[in-house]
Amino acid sequence: MSVDDIAAAIKSMEIRGAGRIARAAAAAIGDLARSREWNDISSLMRDVSDSKAKLIGSRPTAVSLLNGIQFTLRGLNGCTTVDDARKLLIRNSEEFIMSSNMAVERIGLIGSRRIKDGAVIMTHCNSSAAIACIKEAHRSGKRIKVYATESRPWRQGILTVNELAEAGVDVTLIIDGAVRSVMKYTDIVMVGADTITSNGAVINKIGTSQLALAAHEARVPFVVCSETYKISPQTLFGDMVTIEERDTSEIVRKGEIPDTVKVFNPVFDSTPARYIDGIVTEIGIVSPGSVYEIMVKQFGDIEFK
Ligand code: RUB
């Protein structure tokens, strides 16, 4: 698929989820490098820069998208020939996709150890990292039960219950409004992340912070499952994470309510670090307070703006 096709598919949510959109964007740049002919390095640089802007503009909240693209472009400014640049982009794109997939696998192994035999888990939306932990716990023989929220308005919870049911996990779908009521039967909450800020706050699907509050109140551990490339270095310099607002037609049909009624559809929210017990990453389980150190270590050599 071309860069335009991938950007459109991300915008329309045909491709969704922070990890998936990052891998799709990296693949789009890799495909561009494989298929496009350039006469000189400056035309290549221009095309890559346009592609980067299109892909980043397709969804504003998940920093995974930006970081996946930055990783794929790493070293490009040092290339002097089209051939070198092409090779570099293809290699970086493949490396990012592979390491991103491996990170999810590692998170599954590490996170599954936090799930006790007989545990009841609550999850929100559809996170491949959280699902990897749950599936691995089930695969390793633990008798677990999962409550998965519907996640209005896109109902990504349907994807989650289908995937877990297919893996043989005992899973129950609940509406978002049932979270606090069902928390009393829950032993651990596991959710994904779109972005992690320098102070350890987690931006994830709207409603995540409500799960965190309900878990805090019920003294249920609240665990985030996330690849380290979802950490946003820009937040260290005071940049705010843009919370995507989507079309109101996702919530109400035309004519269903008077035109005078306003509709607000933010699709992500922020959970402060103090409600997060741990972040399961591919390098281990870390506290939200140690995000800064990981950021410096992981991103030190990448150019960010
Ligand atoms: C998806 C969502 C997921 C994170 C993490 O929102 O909030 O929890 O993206 O997913 P949307 P993963 O459906 O709007 O993209 O662990 O798969 O990266």
207 lines ligand 1 (CB under 6 A): no
Residue nearest to atom 11 of ligand 1 (CA): 17
pLDDT score, position 296:
85
Q: Is 15 exposed, middle or buried (0-12, 13-18, 19+ CB in 10 A)?
A: buried
- For ligand 1, what atom is nearest to the CA of residue 225? 16
Q: pLDDT tens for residues 47-80?
A: 999 999 999 999 999 999 999 999 999 999 999 9
Residue 304 Cα to chain centre, angstroms = 19
Q: pLDDT tens for residues 78-111?
A: 999 999 999 999 999 999 999 999 999 999 999 9
pTM for this predicted structure: 0.95
* Whether the predicted pLDDT of 305 surpasses 50: no
> Catalytic: which of 31, 133, 176, 194?
194
Is residue 259 part of the annotated active site? The answer reads: no
- CB 272, CB 208: distance < 8 Å: no
pLDDT score, position 239:
85
What SS3 class is residue 149? strand
pLDDT score, position 129:
98
What band does 297 get if pLDDT is binned at 50, 70 and 90? confident
pLDDT score, position 182:
98
- Tokens representing 246? 């989507």
pLDDT score, position 236:
86
224 lines ligand 1 (CB under 6 A): no
Calculated CA dihedral for residues 102, 108, 111, 114, nearest 10 degrees: -150
What band does 116 get if pLDDT is binned at 50, 70 and 90? very high
Task: For the chain, give the percent of residues with pLDDT over 70.
Answer: 98
Work out the number of other CB atoms within 10 angstroms of the CB of residue 73.
Answer: 23
CA distance 84 to 74: 13
Average pLDDT, the chain: 96
61 lines ligand 1 (CB under 6 A): no
* Whether the predicted pLDDT of 168 surpasses 50: yes
Distances (CA, A) of 1 to 17, 52, 271, 301: 18, 15, 35, 30
Within 8 A by CB and 6+ apart from 79, the residues are: 41, 85, 88
What band does 26 get if pLDDT is binned at 50, 70 and 90? very high
What band does 301 get if pLDDT is binned at 50, 70 and 90? low
What is the best residue among 64, 125, 190 to mutate for testing ligand 1's pocket, by most ligand atoms within 8 Å of CB?
125
